[in-house]
Amino acid sequence: MSIEDLETIAQKMVAPGKGIIAIDESTTTIARRFKAVGIENTEENRRAYRELLLTTPGLSEHISGAILYDETIRQSTKDGVPFTELMKKNGIIPGIKVDKGPVALAGFPGDVITEGLDGLRERLQEYARLGAQFAKWRAVINISDDNPSSSAIEANAHALARYAALCQEAGIVPMVEPEVIMDGNHSIEVSYEVHEAVLRSLFNALYEQNVMLEGTILKASMVIAGTTAAEPSEASEVAEATVHVLKATVPASLPGIVFLSGGQKDEQATANLNEMNKLGPHPWPLSFSYGRAMQQAALDLWSKDLKGNVAEAQKIVAARAKENGLAALGQWKG
């Protein structure tokens, strides 16, 4: 794939009024979500649930791409159509989660580092053959009185940059995700400071690794007070702080930025995105790459009748996609 192709795919990922649906939960993570609503965690149930999401009528009106898990990219519909073929036919770009998850960073209690660089070149080549056109790597940045250390920020930024370079070598658009975790009692001001340090380190590392920003997407967390903070953040505060830190750290050559919901309630994530876009225009599109904030209500309904509630659950998915698509334009009414 040429450099121009990477740019084209990246731009399609953040097309006006469209975003990404994240259905890349690991088998362990989806087991927890299934257990919470009483669904048995079998391969067939996981496949059926992903099929429900990907076959939602009209999904591509507001969804440009979907991030898949290793198991999912190899699966097919009940009629035998590979998910990646179905997605491309319906105008949805297949993506793939490629990191191996965070582990403790030796020497720095409370900090973690994402693993998965070993063997990544070969895995990316296989995923490209399976139809993936973009990939995702998530770094985790914890906030506490002692975290994050500068070493943790630099180590994760370097890993993200190495991953991104390998993606582009394989003809795959890298989505770089440095998630600053919401858990904790920190203020929105502390969140801002950590986001600024993380994003500066990330883009320095991308530059050092010769990553072409025009063929890269940033998946960012929002600048928001911690989940147990004394003063919760209002949508207007989140929007102003997030836009400010992005303008201070992210080059204008980046095709776009998508946000993770990061544990926010469904409508909270939508409202925050909407407020950011009302502050525009910005140097780049600001859109979404939501997982739980796109799926949870549909999963709750589907769990009550796995065969009978598919169409109704899909209506919920379509409605959430539309709401977030409008928020990506600053046109959501709430």
Please report, rounded to a whole number, the percentage of residues in the chain having pLDDT higher than 90. Answer: 96
> Residues, the chain, total?
334
Task: Point out the residues that are catalytic.
Answer: 177, 219
Structure tokens at 111: 């900090």
What is the chain's alpha carbon radius of gyration, rounded to the nearest angstrom? Answer: 19
How many whole angstroms separate alpha carbon 323 and alpha carbon 316? 11
Helix axes 310-327, 266-278, angle to 10 degrees: 30
**What pLDDT, on the 0 to 100 scale, is given for residue 293?**
87
Angle, CA of 206, 224 and 294, to the nearest 5°: 80
- For residue 329, which of 112, 134, 61 has the smallest C-alpha distance? 61
How many whole angstroms separate alpha carbon 28 and alpha carbon 31? 5
**What pLDDT, on the 0 to 100 scale, is given for residue 223?**
98
Q: What digits encode the pLDDT tens for the residues 28-85?
A: 999 999 999 999 999 999 999 999 999 999 999 999 999 999 999 999 999 999 999 9
**What pLDDT, on the 0 to 100 scale, is given for residue 273?**
98
**What pLDDT, on the 0 to 100 scale, is given for residue 97?**
98
Residue 64 CB contacts under 8 Å (≥ 6 apart), including other chains: 12, 13, 14, 15, 18, 19, 20, 92, 93
**What pLDDT, on the 0 to 100 scale, is given for residue 263?**
82
Cis upstream peptide for 281 (omega within 30°): yes
For the chain, residues with pLDDT lower than 50 are: none
**What pLDDT, on the 0 to 100 scale, is given for residue 1?**
62
Tell me the residue type at 277. Answer: N
Q: Which one-letter DSSP state was computed for residue 16? A: T
CATH number for the domain whose boundaries are 3-327: 3.20.20.70
Decide if 178 contacts 160 (C-beta within 8 A). Answer: yes
Spell 228-238 as b/e; 16+ CB within 10 A means b. Answer: ebeeebebebb
